[in-house]
Every structure is written in structure tokens, then in C-alpha cells.
Homo-oligomer: A and B are copies of this chain.
């Protein structure tokens, strides 16, 4: 088994790519091929992917059905880049999204293509919420992650990333996420009280933006009752509820939208990452029909019409979301993962399992331990990353399509890595 130090990147990374690069530091190999839950590096070594492009590959790498549709589209010289012109591929995607996703869920929503990344979708959501309400302030939650452009960064918690802005980030106020105080405090005590107090000093918010499970924040899971109470709190006070489903949507926690389990209906939803199904850039901002106050062209973006992504996105919806089977299977696989993680946690004091659906992980005492676990896993051929405010959580985001025996195999290696890291 090779150790991390024996791996080496091609020279050009060190010489040419900015110091901002990150994943290639922990996994210093040059990847070549990929299929299902596996990556292969240029030396032929294989890696089981428990990371899935940070949630962008819910259906695994290079799913053959999607691949077929994509190559067929490209081969026929169909249009690739179209800004927001109507295209055959876009029409098909919109109709499929309407038929398989919105309609069955009773969502009378409009769809915006805000540019092909999650942060674009969040920026569009914030702009729209401010335009609709005429207010500037947005409430976010501790340990939230919403993106790196200025608007999204202002509602993100991580202090290192916030500092990168170079200007004071304003118009946002953090509130405690569910269970922030370990269950001691009544959930919305502070938020509700300061909202309703005319002397509270809180600028009245246009919107609340929330993730149902905070992936980057360390796999913090909001309870369904908390989400319901939050939705009700917003509804009663005419504050828009934005659910950022960029990472937890597209089935990561079971159902297509992560908020379905809580049986709530947000006002605005952001989707990206796995929406194209093939790792191609695409993003959507969805909102209630009556909130569609945009003027034509008021928000735009060169790559908002990425047609290859429409093709794979439509095919992915047809392949995985015709009924409930896929969601059900994810819950089963997630349950399996959680059982195995619980077993690991039970055998080690100061480790706890956490997560929902197939977003699962282990929380360690500190960052060095979590880092040692990931390193040991990498040396054993499994990719997993850390998250959380102190990088103390090992996060598992395997493709939802990972077969059971590969899930088992990956978690076996995790268990071994934990043992190694703690020894």
C-alpha cells in the first residue's frame, strides 16, 4: 500500500495553478477515467468514490444511459451553446422537469436558468427575494454554505472563506441552526423574539436561506419539525423561505427535493450539482409563480443554456425519477450506511455518526483525526473529504447508484482507516 508521500502530481500544477487549488493536495494523483463509483488514475490505480464531485455525481460517473444520450446529441451536431434561446434540448428538459418533478409535487413554480453553478442560483434567489420584498437583509444559519460570489458568500458561515471577500460582508444575520445548542434551547426563541421586537435592532429580512442538511457545515441535519416551524415562522411574517438544495437536492437524502420529507413548501429553491446528472454545469432557481417579477434580461449569464447538460438532465430525470423506486432505494442504502457508521461510532468514544439519506458521516474529536482518516482511506483507495467548521467531520457522499457491496467495501475501508487514525 503506497503512502500519501509517494504520490506525485505533474509539475505543471505546482508551477502554474494558483495556490487556491485544494482537492489535488489531499489526493495528489492525476485522474484519467471514471465509471460508476470508480475513478482510475493515469497509473491505472482505482479509487472508490465516496465523494461524488461534492454531490454533483449522484448517478455516478459516466452513467451509460446518459452517456449514450450525450454522445448521440453531440454526434448529430445539435446545438451546444444557446444562451437562453429555445432549443429542442431545452424544451425537452423543461417539459420533463414539469412532468416528473413539479407537477407530481403540486408545485406551481417558474424555472429560471441563472447561470450554470450553484452560486449563480443562490445569487438569483437572493436578488429576487430582495426585489419582491423591497428589503435588503437576509437571515442565514450558522455553518451555512451557499457559494463564493459576493452575494452567496455573505450568507455563508465559514470565516476563512468570508475573509476572502476583502470587504465587510453585510445585509446578512446568522441565526442558530437546528440543534446548535445541543438541544438545550428552545429552537427559534432568539430568532422569533428579535423579529417581533420593534426594538430588537434586526433589520427586517427579505428572506431566510437554509439547507435542510448542511453538507459543508459538517452534516448537520435539521429535524423535520424544525423545518416546519421555520417555514411557518416565515409564512406568518411574510418572509420568503429559500431552500438551497444544491447539494442535498436531486435525491441525495431520498426524495427529489430534500424538503419533501418535512412536507413543507419553500418559496424559492436552488438546484445545481446533480441536476445535469453527468457532472455538467447546470443550475436552476425555482420560485412560486407569483414571485416572478423579473424583467426580461434583468439577470443573465453566458452559460445559462448549456444544452449538453439539458440532454443529460432530461435523461437522468427519465431514468431515475419516473416513480418512487429510486428514492426508496436511497433510503435503504442510506440506512445501511448509517447502521455501519453507528457501529463504528459505538466502538470508539468521541466519534458520532450523523447525516440523512446518503449524506452520512462521522464526527471526530478534532480536525487532525478526521484528516488522518481521509488520508488512510485514500491510501487504501477510497476518496472521502472532511467538512464542518473545524474540518472535524468525515463526510460520505457516494453516488446514490453505488451497489451495496461497494458501499460495504468503502465503509470497511473507512472502519480500517478510523482504526489506523486512532491508533
Chain B min CB distance to A98 (Å): 6
A197's closest neighbor in chain B, by CB? B389
| A74 pairs with B77, CB closer than 8 A | no
Residue of B nearest to A202 (CB): B174
Inter-chain CA distance A181–B196, complex, in Å, is 13
Q: Is A85 positioned at the interface, with any CB of B under 8 Å from its CB?
A: yes
Contact of A53 among B81, B190, B294, B295 (CB under 8 A): B81
Cβ-based interface call for A12 (8 A):
yes
Report the stretch among A114-122, A354-362, A401-409 that lies at the interface: A114-122
Q: When the two chains form their complex, are residues A298 and B203 in contact, meaning their CB atoms are under 8 A apart?
A: no
Asked if residues A166 and B83 are in contact (CB atoms below 8 Å), the reply is no
By beta carbon, the residue of chain B nearest A287 is B18
Work out how many copies of this chain go into the complex.
4
- A91 to B185 Cα, complex, angstroms: 51
* Residues of chain B contacted by A197 (CB below 8 angstroms): 142-143, 157, 389
A228 proximity list for chain B (CB < 8 A): none
- In the complex, A136 Cα to B162 Cα: how many Å? 14
- Residues of chain B within 8 A of A157, CB atoms compared: 197, 199-201
A4 at the B interface (CB under 8 A): no
Q: Is A221 on the interface with B (CB-CB < 8 A)? A: no
> Given that A19-B294, A20-B294 are known contacts, is A281 also in contact with B299, CB under 8 Å in the complex?
no
Q: Are B9 and A142 in contact, CB atoms less than 8 angstroms apart?
A: no
A16 located at the interface, meaning its Cβ lies under 8 Å from any Cβ of chain B in the complex: yes
CB-based contact B164/A127 at 8 Å = yes
Cβ of A325 within 8 Å of any chain B Cβ, yes or no, is no
- How far, in Å, is A120 (CB) from chain B's closest CB? 7
Alpha-carbon gap, A34 to B218, bound state (A):
45
A78-121: CB near B (< 8 Å → 1, else 0) gives 11111111111001001101100010000000111111111110
Contacts of A218 in B (CB 8 A): 199
A335 on the B face (CB < 8 A)? no
Contact string against B for A residues 212-241, beta-carbon threshold 8 Å, 1 for contact and 0 otherwise: 000001100000000000000000000000
Please state if B279 and A281 are interface contacts (CB–CB under 8 Å).
no
A31 touches B87 (CB 8 A): yes
Can you name 26 A-B residue pairings with CB atoms under 8 Å?
A17-B94, A17-B110, A18-B292, A22-B84, A22-B297, A28-B86, A30-B87, A32-B79, A33-B77, A34-B78, A34-B79, A34-B80, A56-B81, A71-B74, A117-B120, A130-B165, A149-B149, A159-B198, A159-B199, A159-B200, A159-B204, A161-B297, A168-B168, A168-B203, A199-B390, A281-B306
A292: which B residues are within 8 A, CB to CB? Answer: 18-19
